[in-house]
């Protein structure tokens, strides 16, 4: 064995919002790199911020022991640090603004590239969604050896069939629907459960079907209030004086706009959706009979937390293992992905831009319709 040959150093960072499965990828990638290939592994803390500030920690068999099942990220994460469009702050920590009041931003990516060189990093593995992977592509174009791994509970990356974190989030939604079902039935209430997903309705669709929802509202299928009311009344007539409505945070009425919770100025994705459950609750209370109370339930970040589902643990392990293989084979500028049952990879340029959204005419939507689930876009058909 040639001991004079430099040991390859691999760096990992987790960008964007956290998702169950991040630690499983870190665990598998680190163990495979060390045990199979003899690499050294480090992890930058708080995503690209750690890369900018050069804050990292060693990833060893000891430091990654026992993390496979845990949600979150032992490296911590951040969804506010785009190093190619970085907001400036003054000595008091306030944003620097131009004469029109806009935050002044600049490209600080060269600092990150220099840190990678200083730290002796041979390959950077980015675990993230569309924003993080866009930066990964841009670093690749600057000569950095980068590999991407697809992460988002929203399942909206167009280049892979499934992202890790999605299955865990659906499990949480399904369990929550089971819990609200009993209280809705006991009080004859309409309970509206708001779930995440941004512009994609995958969590609402899968969770709604698995959790026996009566109405599923998703961004891809705008709804009419009168159709939802009609569904509630139809259930009343069948002796079911309660209803469960699952609504994706990005859902909207026909001809209406999405409900915005707040604007985060220093985030690359400044618009935060949310509040649709409360809005819809108020609207329905004005339209349905006094026999029903309407209650909104916002699951929020519970969908991101807790233990990683077995499916996501295995998917993450496959992603991490394949990323290690790509490192060994010198295949950079690509993202690991799942196509059918096969783990493969795809160039960053084919990953970025556009979202994987629910096709309103897809099989799963039709399955739901055939079960009598309303999407709020059509009047309720009379039962035969």
pLDDT digits (tens, 9 = 90+) for 282-324: 999 888 877 788 999 999 999 998 899 999 999 999 999 999 9
Q: Where in the chain is the domain with CATH 3.40.50.450?
A: 9-164+308-350
Q: Where in the chain is the domain with CATH 3.40.50.460?
A: 168-302+359-370
**pLDDT at residue 1, rounded to an integer:** 38
24 has pLDDT over 90: yes
Q: Which CATH architecture has domain 9-164+308-350?
A: 3-Layer(aba) Sandwich (3.40)
Do residues 201 and 340 make contact, with C-beta atoms less than 8 angstroms apart?
no
Domain 168-302+359-370 classification at class level: alpha beta
Do residues 116 and 144 make contact, with C-beta atoms less than 8 angstroms apart?
yes
Report the DSSP beta bridge partners of residue 193.
246, 297
Do residues 107 and 141 make contact, with C-beta atoms less than 8 angstroms apart?
no
**pLDDT at residue 116, rounded to an integer:** 97
The model's confidence at residue 269, banded by pLDDT at 50, 70 and 90, is low
**pLDDT at residue 80, rounded to an integer:** 75
**pLDDT at residue 354, rounded to an integer:** 79
**pLDDT at residue 4, rounded to an integer:** 45
Q: Which residues contact 157 (CB under 8 A, 6 or more apart)?
A: 129, 130, 133, 150, 163, 351, 355, 356
Q: Which residues are catalytic?
A: 154
**Cα–chain-centroid distance for residue 195?**
12
| Portion of the chain with pLDDT greater than 90, in percent | 75
């Amino acid at each position: 064995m040639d001991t004079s040959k430099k040991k390859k150093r691999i760096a990992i960072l987790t960008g964007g919002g956290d998702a169950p499965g991040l630690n499983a990828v870190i665990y598998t990638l680190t163990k495979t790199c060390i045990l199979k290939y003899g690499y050294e592994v480090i992890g930058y803390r708080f995503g690209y911020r750690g890369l900018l500030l050069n804050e990292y920690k060693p990833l060893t068999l000891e430091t990654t022991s026992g993390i496979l099942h845990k949600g979150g990220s032992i490296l911590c994460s951040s969804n506010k640090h785009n190093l190619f469009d970085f907001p400036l702050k003054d000595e008091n920590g306030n944003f620097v603004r131009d004469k029109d009041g806009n935050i002044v931003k600049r490209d600080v990516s060269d600092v990150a590239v220099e840190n990678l060189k200083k730290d002796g990093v041979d390959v950077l593995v980015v675990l993230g969604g569309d924003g993080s992977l866009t930066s990964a592509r841009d670093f690749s174009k600057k000569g950095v050896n980068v590999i991407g791994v697809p992460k988002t509970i929203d399942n909206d990356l167009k280049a892979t069939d499934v992202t890790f974190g999605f299955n865990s989030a659906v499990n949480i939604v399904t369990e929550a629907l089971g819990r609200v079902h009993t209280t809705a039935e006991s009080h004859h209430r309409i309970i509206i459960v708001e779930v995440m997903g941004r512009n994609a309705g995958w969590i609402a669709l899968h969770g709604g079907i698995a959790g026996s929802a009566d109405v599923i509202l998703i961004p891809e299928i705008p709804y009419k209030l009168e159709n939802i009311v009609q569904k509630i009344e139809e259930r009343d007539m069948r002796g079911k004086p309660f209803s469960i409505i699952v609504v994706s945070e990005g859902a909207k009425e026909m001809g209406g706009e999405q409900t915005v919770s707040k604007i985060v100025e220093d985030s690359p994705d400044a618009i935060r959706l949310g509040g649709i459950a409360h809005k819809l609750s108020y609207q329905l209370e004005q339209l349905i009979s006094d026999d029903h109370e309407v209650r909104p339930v916002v699951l929020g970040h519970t969908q991101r937390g807790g233990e990683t589902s077995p499916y996501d643990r295995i998917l993450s392990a496959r992603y991490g293992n394949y990323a290690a293989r790509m490192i060994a084979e010198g295949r950079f500028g690509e993202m690991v992905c799942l196509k059918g049952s096969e783990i493969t990879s795809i160039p960053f340029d084919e990953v970025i831009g556009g979202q994987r959204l629910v096709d309103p005419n897809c099989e799963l939507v039709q399955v739901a319709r055939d079960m009598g689930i309303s999407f709020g876009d059509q009047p309720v058909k009379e039962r035969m």
